[in-house]
Structure 1
Amino acid sequence: MFRRTFWFTSGVAAGVWATTKVNRKLRQLTPESLAATAANKALETGRRVKDRAVGFALDVRDNMAQREAELNDALGIDEDPGLPAPRRHAVIENNRSSPKYIENTTYSHNRNEDH
């Protein structure tokens, strides 16, 4: 009698365990779950790529500064010459004393107007 109870209990436990495993796997294979998993993997991959790109950019910047310093030493150029002179912009004035100004002239910018 005890032997039958043991095997019955073992069978029930194995059935519950197998049913739980199958249901868990089925839930993982639903479209929503697959989409969420794919999105999480994409985000993780994006973070990894970004971290590597930032590290690469910092390495390039450091090596560029080092090489620039080497070239400046080799050429005898001062490292800090100061700020460059500010840029000057040409200004076009349109006033009455300008020779291109024609008094009492009106211009129409309407394309639909007959000329």
Structure 2
Amino acid sequence: MFRRTFWFTAGAAAGVWATTKVNRKLRQLTPESLAAQAANKAIDAGHKLKDFALDVRTGMVRREAELGEALGLEAPADPALPAPRRLAAIEYTERPRTGTTRHTPNPHNRNEDH
């Protein structure tokens, strides 16, 4: 009698454990849960990428300082010199408008009738 009770209890406990395990796994595989897991992994990847970029930047600054010391480029800039200017890659000059809406043909445009 004791053996039957033991095995009945063991079977019932195994069934409850298996049912709980399967239900937990099914909840993990719902679309909402999968989307949340993907979002968490994307956020973690973004943090890791940011940390990597900061490490690269720190190493770059440190290496630039080492090279500047080795080459003697750490001299302070002369305050009498003007600040460096950034040049525009493409200069755009607007033509003055003559007030007419007449179309003037472009001599280099091959799509127009001449």
- TM-score tier by shorter-chain length is 0.5 to 0.7
d(CA) in 2 for partners of 1:43, 1:25: 23
CA contact (8 A) 2:28 2:34 kept: yes
User: Percent of counterpart pairs with the same letter?
Assistant: 53
Return structure 1 stretches of 4+ with deviation > 6 angstroms.
none
Q: Does 1:43 align with 2:43?
A: yes
Which position in structure 2 is the counterpart of 1:9? 9
Question: Once the 2 structures are TM-superposed, how far is the Cα of residue 65 of structure 1 from its aligned partner?
Answer: 1.7
Q: What residue in structure 2 maps to residue 83 of structure 1?
A: 79
**Aligned partner of residue 61 in structure 2, secondary structure:** helix
Q: Distance in 2 between matches of 1:19 and 1:29?
A: 15
Q: Give the aligned CA root-mean-square deviation in angstroms.
A: 2.5
Alpha carbons of structure 1 residues 20 and 78: separation in structure 2 relative to 1, 3 Å:
closer
| Count, aligned residues | 90
Which is greater in Rg? 1
Work out the CA distance in 2 between the residues paired with 1:78 and 1:55.
Answer: 23
Q: Deviations over 1:14-53 (max 9, x none)?
A: 0000000000000000000000001101111111111011
- Segments of 5+ residues of structure 1 without an aligned counterpart are 88-109
Q: Provide structure 2 residue ranges, at least 5 long, that are not aligned to the other structure.
A: 84-98, 102-114
Q: 1:1-115, aligned counterparts within 5 Å?
A: 1-72=1-72, 79-83=75-79, 85-86=81-82
